[in-house]
Structure 1
């Protein structure tokens, strides 16, 4: 089973930087597990900025959904991030909340069977503005339920607030 540390917070709260520093302190060759699907040019630029933040120590793996198909046994893995990973399930299910949640939970269960140190970055969407549109509200619910699911099984949980980590669990 994976040893899981969940790092959560709002947009630009410092989650990724904190998680990256944690992974680098735990391993000389950490794995960066990128879950992003490139949707547009602005997003491609965000990905490039994140890539530039990592040096040659990092092993990069890109996987949009099927995390469990990769062997991470004995590794320190930084998964960045749950939100982008869930977006892929939500989009591919044609925005069916229950279907996306069940598929994500099933894949998560398979993924965490590996003996690895897993640092997971996610977003706290429910702490912001209430979404105006139905699809956005459904996604906020999906994110919140999956965050709860991951946090329940996590060994440690950190909330980042204005760049300051607060240990929750």
Structure 2
């Protein structure tokens, strides 16, 4: 199963995803993709870790997520935006190369027999960027979100902490 959870910044996506993972497993995996770029970001990450507690198995992996075996586990991947950002900057802001590498990595992940809960941002909901690089990244983010949403069994949009189911192929 692939469940994509999307929404704007600070909409409650991660909390919703964490609650969902805990409803499916008493020992879910938290797959963290963020790099730490400053002290404020480090503090935010520590707050997230503390909130989750000991019942989670946390794996920090910036890019090559398929190095890990998630067979028969519930995995919360948080988040696609920060993960894609790592490809984008490591590839010298090459959009096409970043998208190709990220989608290839996702294909390897989706071949694993596990339940995926994937958090991503709808960057276009937050306003129009004022520089070309940020606009290109928004486009890149939109492309990867569409790719995942197409593959997903469930897609939930979070608005002000409230879930809105927008795709469900599991229900018959």
Could you say which TM-score interval applies, normalised by the shorter chain?
A: over 0.9
RMSD: 0.6
Mapping 1:89-108, distance limit 5 Å: 89-108=87-106
How far off is 1:113 after superposition?
0.6
- In structure 2, runs of 5+ residues without a counterpart are 168-172
How many residue pairs get matched? Answer: 167
How far off is 1:112 after superposition?
1.0
Alignment partners' CA distance in 2, 1:124 and 1:27: 27
Matched, 1:4 2:5: no
Q: Which residue of 2 aligns with 1:40?
A: 38
Q: Is the 8 A contact 2:9 2:126 kept in 1?
A: no
How far off is 1:19 after superposition?
0.2
Alignment partners' CA distance in 1, 2:64 and 2:94: 19
Secondary structure of 1:19's match? helix
Q: Deviations over 1:47-85 (max 9, x none)?
A: 111111111110000100001110000000000000000
Mapping 1:104-123, distance limit 5 Å: 104-123=102-121
Q: Which residue of 2 aligns with 1:60?
A: 58
Q: Is the 8 A contact 2:2 2:116 kept in 1?
A: yes
Q: TM-score, normalised by structure 1?
A: 0.97
Q: TM-score, normalised by structure 2?
A: 0.96
Q: Deviations over 1:7-29 (max 9, x none)?
A: 00001100000000000000010
Alignment partners' CA distance in 2, 1:12 and 1:36: 16
Alignment partners' CA distance in 1, 2:39 and 2:85: 17
- In structure 1, runs of 5+ residues without a counterpart are none
Q: Which residue of 2 aligns with 1:50?
A: 48
Stretches (4+) displaced over 3 A: none
Q: Deviations over 1:95-133 (max 9, x none)?
A: 111111111011111111100000000000012211111
Alignment partners' CA distance in 1, 2:44 and 2:156: 23
